[in-house]
Amino acid sequence: MSDPTIKGLPPPPVKYDGSNQRILIVHARWNDTIIQSLVSGCVAKLKEQGVREENIVIKTVPGSYELPFATQRLIAGSQTQSSVNAPSLLGASSANLVNLLTSDEPSTPTQPSSTGSSSTTTTNKASTGAFSAAISIGCLIKGSTMHFEYICDAVTNGLMRVQLDTGVPVIFGVLTALTDDQALERAGLGRKGTKGHNHGEDWALAAVELAAQSAEWS
């Protein structure tokens, strides 16, 4: 049983207003049940903070290892959209890539994963413009090889680099769990006496706070 008085995100000193923010969620599809719960908790909390549905853009990638690249491309694409000079900065091939990842078309629903249980519903009237913050969501669960350690390290460093390089806050929404139960508990799906706590909610709060604060800090 976890003790909420010791660990976890305490409430912010003020309630930050997300009504003018545009938030990107990029999520992996590996460990789909856990991911769906994290994304749902995250979206619900973003809305509670005032973020409008059309300003929540959800994109997916296969696994957590793909998160840094996709997050970087999508942020760069959104900055290009909102800058009149930006097209001249891009070579033809990278411009095409950005267009591919940031189509003006509405976000498509999550594709079924190998488990076939994916059901994230995304907005059907997505807005355009620069993202105020991004939340990269994945779930890595340790197996019997060193794969877990390498991917955890690469994704953690990659996402840190993306936020420092782009100047857009990137929230680290990646569970790095040693067991299935650890991951389930952190997605609010615990099965050992307590449902645990959905960390997706904390990531939403962090995104709105960082988006509001970084606008003031710059």
Catalytic residue positions? Answer: 147
Nearer to ligand DLZ, 50 or 63 (CB): 63
What is the per-residue binding string for ligand DLZ in 99-138, x denoting contact by CB under 6 A? ---------------------------------------x
> With respect to ligand DLZ, which residue has the nearer C-beta, 58 or 210?
58
Q: CA-CA distance, 134 to 112, in Å (whole number)?
A: 23
63 touching ligand DLZ, by CB under 6 A: yes
Task: In angstroms, give the least distance from the CB of 30 to ligand DLZ.
Answer: 3
Find out whether 24 and 217 touch, Cβ atoms under 8 Å. Answer: no
CA dihedral 3, 11, 58, 22 (to 10 degrees): -170
139-168 binders of ligand DLZ (CB under 6 A): 139-141, 143, 147, 151
Q: Are 24 and 37 in contact (CB under 8 A)?
A: no
> By CB under 6 A, how many residues form the interface with ligand DLZ?
15
Q: Is the dihedral of CA 111, 113, 115, 118 positive or negative?
A: negative
Nearer to ligand DLZ, 62 or 87 (CB): 62
Long-range contacts of 8-12 (CB under 8 A, 24+ apart): 8/197, 8/202, 9/202, 9/205, 9/206, 12/205, 12/209
Q: Binders of ligand DLZ among 11-40, rule CB under 6 A? A: 28, 30-31
Report the nearest approach of ligand DLZ to the CB of residue 144 (Å): 10
Q: Which of 43, 59, 66, 208 binds ligand DLZ (CB under 6 A)?
A: 66
Rg (CA), the chain: 17
Q: Does 55 bind ligand DLZ (CB under 6 A)?
A: no
Nearest Cα residue to 17 out of 152, 218, 216, 192 = 216
Per-residue burial over 192-209, b = 16 or more CB atoms within 10 Å of its CB, e = otherwise: eeeebbbbbbbbbbbbbb
Least Å from the CB of residue 156 to ligand DLZ: 13
* Contact positions vs ligand DLZ (CB under 6 A): 28, 30-31, 62-66, 138-141, 143, 147, 151
